[in-house]
Amino acid sequence: MSLVLKNVSKNFGSKKAVNNISLTLDKPGVYGLLGTNGAGKTTTIRMLLGIIKKDKGEITWKGKEVDRKYVNFGYLPEERGVYPKTIIKNQLLYFAELKGMKKAEAEKSIKHWAKVLKVEEYLDMTAEKLSKGNQQKIQFMTAIIHNPELVVLDEPFSGLDPVNTELIKNVIIDLVKNKKYVIMSAHQMTTIEEFCSDILIMNRGKAVLQGNLKEIKDTYKVNRVEIDTNKDINKIIESLGLEIEIEKNNQYKIKIDNEEVAHELLDKVIANKIKVNKFEIQKPTLNDIFIEKVGG
């Protein structure tokens, strides 16, 4: 067992920011932390990183109480920030040295990650001259430069273009391959679904759903059928008394409450000699589950 949060709580005055949260990361991988704004994700992250003190509960890493002094963590905060007037290389060196690296070792690591993240040409520039996306890649470097065992990424893809998103995604995949523990908070549910095997959904400081993502999804019944045809099938859908969620260019997303009605729809479409390009019976997406749980 590696990272364990047990019944952790934090109050700010009378406001319960985090209320009795427990989670366990027992094997390398990406753990998803979800919640609306103000749900308590950042407070939870700050507590597990030792930035703020918890009021109650236990946070341990490899069986020991978390302490910044000996835990090798990396952190990309939601609030993006770099020293605007400082040379990029100098600020990377500064953070690497604060994380206990020797200068030569740090320089080697900076060189490596600058190449991977395609920011080599910016190392001798001041941060204010860089685009937001590149500044974000620099900050991402500060989170991983010291080869941490646990990396906490708060909204790692927000504000990035598709090319840079792909770059960061590949780095996260490599981190997991290298047996690192990653906690990721994101608003894009597709990203979480892509990366995370386990999730925790928070609402108003409390855990409203947590566990293995696949197991969570298995507890849900099918709720949607997606069908792509070469003709309008509105009449057939109406005849079955179904509700269309989205319709665009003969592509339909239809709400259902069982698999049988979906097959019935397919049979009727084929019987009407309409060609079917795509037919998929779907379970709720993470987005659906999230909205259901936080009362969106």
Partner 1 sequence: MRDIITVAKFTMKEMMRRKSFIITTIIIMIVIVIGFNGPNIAKLFSNDNGEMLQGEKVLISDNENLYEGKLNELNQNDLEYKIEIENSTADEIKSKIQNNEIKAGIIIEKQGNDILFRYIVNDTMATMPENLNKELQKLYTTNQIEKLGLNEQKAKEILPEFQTSTEQTEEVKGNTVVIMIISILLFYAIYFCAYQVSSSITTEKTSKIMETLVTSTSPKTIVVGKTLGIGTGGLIQMLILVLTAVISAKLFLDPALLEIVLASTQVTPFVGVLMFVFFILGYFLFATLYAVTGSTVSKPEDIQAANTPVMLLTIVGFYIGQAVIQTPSGSLATFGTYFPLSSPFLMPFRVMMGLATTQEIILSLVILVVSIAVIAHIAIKIYSNAILNYGTKLNIKNLIKMYKTK
105 binds partner 1, rule: CB under 8 A? no
| Mutual angle of helices 88-98 and 132-144, in 10-degree steps | 20
Q: Which of 8, 30, 33, 82 binds partner 1 (CB under 8 A)?
A: 82
86 binds partner 1, rule: CB under 8 A? yes
The count of other CB atoms within 10 Å of the CB of residue 145 is 21
The identity of residue 121, as a single letter, is E
Tell me the closest approach of the beta carbon of residue 13 to partner 1, in angstroms.
Answer: 8
Q: How many residues bind partner 1 (CB under 8 A)?
A: 28
Token pair for residue 217?
A: 């999804």
Q: Which of 98, 244, 246, 276 binds partner 1 (CB under 8 A)?
A: 98
Q: Which of 22, 57, 60, 95 binds partner 1 (CB under 8 A)?
A: 95
49 binds partner 1, rule: CB under 8 A? yes
Q: Which of 1, 58, 70, 90 binds partner 1 (CB under 8 A)?
A: 90
109 binds partner 1, rule: CB under 8 A? no
Q: Which of 28, 77, 133, 211 binds partner 1 (CB under 8 A)?
A: 77
Q: Which of 73, 181, 252, 290 binds partner 1 (CB under 8 A)?
A: 73
Q: Which residues ranging from 140 to 159 are in contact with partner 1 (CB under 8 A)?
A: 142-143
Q: Mark the segment that binds partner 1 (CB under 8 A) among 47-55, 213-221, 262-270, 286-294.
A: 47-55
* Alpha helices (H) along 57-161: 88-98, 103-116, 132-144
52 binds partner 1, rule: CB under 8 A? yes
Burial 25-40 (b: 16+ CB within 10 A, else e): beebbbbbbbbbeebb
38 binds partner 1, rule: CB under 8 A? no
Tell me the closest approach of the beta carbon of residue 116 to partner 1, in angstroms.
Answer: 19
Tell me the closest approach of the beta carbon of residue 229 to partner 1, in angstroms.
Answer: 50
Token pair for residue 282?
A: 């779907």
What residues have CB less than 8 Å from 99, skipping those under 6 apart? 72, 145, 146, 148
Q: Strand 243-248 relative to strand 251-255: parallel, antiparallel, unpaired?
A: antiparallel
Contact by Cβ (8 Å): 45, 200: no
Q: Mark the segment that binds partner 1 (CB under 8 A) among 139-147, 155-163, 215-223, 282-290.
A: 139-147
List, as one string, the DSSP characters of 147-191. Answer: --SEEEEESTTTT--HHHHHHHHHHHHHHHHTT-EEEEE-S-HHH
Q: Which residues contribute to the site for partner 1 (CB under 8 A)?
A: 46, 49-53, 55, 68, 73, 75, 77, 79-86, 90, 94-95, 97-99, 139, 142-143
